[in-house]
Amino acid sequence: LQPHQPFQIIVRYTTADGPAIWWLDPELTYGNAKPFVFTQGHSVCNRSFFPCFDTPAVKCTYSATVKAPAGIQVLMSATQSSYLEEEGVYQFYMEYPVPAYLVALVAGDLIHADIGPRSRVWAEPCLLPTAISKLSGIVERWLTAAESLYGPYIWGRYDIVFLPPSFPIVAMENPCLTFIISSILESDEFLIIDVIHEVAHSWFGNAVTNATWEEMWLSEGLATYAQRRITTETYGAAFTCLETAFRLDALHRQMKLLGEDNPVSKLQVKLEPGVNPSNLMNLFTYEKGYCFVYYLSQLCGDPRHFDSFLRAYIEKYKFTSVVAQDLLDSFLNFFPELKEQCVESKAGLEFERWLNATGPPLAEPDLSQGSSLTRPVETLFKLWTTEPLDSVAAASSVDLTKWRTFQTVLFLDRLLDGSPLPHEVIKKLSECYSSQLDSMNAEIRIRWLQIVVRNDYYPDLYKVRRFLENQMSRMYTIPLYEDLCTGTLKSFALEIFYQTQNQLHPNLRKTIQQILSQGLNPLPAIDTTAVTTDTPAMVLEDKVSEATNGAISLRDVNVSA
């Protein structure tokens, strides 16, 4: 064989059960009609799906042939597809090089509707009208805003498929076909942020990828920065600052629980042999990474100058994988005046310190443009937590139904941080807000129910039961089970679990069993014959919850990939 001469290798293989492939019986779908399957490759699961160089440093094109029964729609993260109906065979081709973790497949009872000139939504028939009503027309608006900031969208189509609640994370940026959990459809503001974050990954993460899992912030920090630039362009600075304040609150909560000297708080985390890279994925990857990128943008004076740099960065490195030094060298070369000022060595804010110091971000963004939305939250929180409790009348006059979702969850998260609260406070809170909160989305309701559990407020416990009886997703079950088992309500949790276990995916069932088993004799045997290996996202959540005795809410780490 001559050097650099192309050659072909054919590998014939059969996959067994593995962490990348999730098989769902019809009962675990919304329609309860047909089986469903999806894959989740991030970060190193796709090696159980197909033979590959399972590292973000290696990119390649791919093609696939998939045969499926009649009535089952198959989709993949590919730029081209075709279907031979008489043979039941789908053909897919991804013409641009991607890392292995971005190869994705989903198949089930899915139908679609166009929501823009280059976008459609796919969902089970019973969910499609809701998906259309939430996203019709606005995805193109987000894509156009992103293109104005960072250059052309290079993947052709931007489609979205809504998956059953067993999907183990909130969303995944598979090129051409974002995967997103259907449970988020009821929470409009979270849906907006999650989809825009995945749109941003089309540039940061998919086009230009971190070459090593030790520098995931190169994808997630940049995508979070781009997401917030897009939301500022489309929804204004106040909304963006509110969402950022909510996330930074969560970052500091995680920091407090894990400790400021915890090595996972570094942007450049050391990946030890045998450690699953997804164990390193946390809010520091997103929010500390975002803060560093925001700091770089501030060095430029005008964020539009930084947008210009990022356009050049994408153009230079698209379809390749990079390390942090590539980004930082490009930044300094693009702004020679900053290089002359030695900004990379500024005392206390050295680039090296940003990358390798543990603890909180070295600098955080100015969020004063969001004060019109955050100040009412701070005021109401003080009314409820300042002794003596003389301001109930003023506090009870606040109508939370008029607030934005991110205002309400920021308020409830701060009450959660202060729990357990005095009994008089929790009683008055319930009298003032419980009925209002009942009609709100799940992101709000779960936080109120966690407050109920952490304060052992028995009059509202029936709402916890009702919520868990109707939830099948990790993000709306695990936080409550953890809180129930941390306090005095473990028997209550066991009772609910035994009543609802059959509606849960075996992987989720297994995780809840582990939570319930902590500090108890082994639980009675439960049929878990279908249990497969936990996905990385699940392993991450288990590790974090164990490290903090359940004190950290999993929604704080179970963010969009």
Q: What does the chain come to in residues?
A: 561
Q: How far apart are CA 242 and CA 367, in angstroms?
A: 8
Q: Is 201 marked as a binding-site residue?
A: yes
Tell me if residue 85 falls in helix, strand or coil. coil
Phi and psi angles of residue 91, each rounded to the nearest 5 degrees, phi first: -120, 135
Element (H, E) at 422: none
Phi and psi angles of residue 284, each rounded to the nearest 5 degrees, phi first: -65, -40
Q: How far apart are CA 128 and CA 131, in angstroms?
A: 5
Contact status, residue 152 vs residue 172, Cβ threshold 8 Å: no
User: Among this protein's residues, is 286 annotated catalytic?
Assistant: yes
Neighbours of 55 (CB within 10 A): 18
Residue 223: closest CA among 319, 293, 168 = 293
CA 510 to chain centre: 22
Gyration radius from the chain CA atoms: 24
Q: How far apart are CA 310 and CA 226, in angstroms?
A: 10
Contact status, residue 134 vs residue 192, Cβ threshold 8 Å: no
Q: How far apart are CA 168 and CA 21, in angstroms?
A: 12
Q: Which of 198, 287, 364, 541 is catalytic?
A: 198
535: which 2 tokens? 């996905």
Q: How far apart are CA 504 and CA 561, in angstroms?
A: 23
Q: Is 214 marked as a binding-site residue?
A: no
Residue with tokens 């934005």, as numbered in its chain: 404
Q: How far apart are CA 38 and CA 385, in angstroms?
A: 46
Q: Three-state SS across 162-180? A: EECCCCCCCEECCCCEEEE
359: which 2 tokens? 């603890």
User: Among this protein's residues, is 198 annotated catalytic?
Assistant: yes
Q: Which of 62, 96, 225, 286 is catalytic?
A: 286
Q: How far apart are CA 142 and CA 499, in angstroms?
A: 42
Q: How far apart are CA 452 and CA 495, in angstroms?
A: 18
Residue numbers in the known binding site for Zn(2+) are 197, 201, 220
Catalytic center residues: 198, 286
Q: Which residues are annotated as a binding site?
A: 197, 201, 220
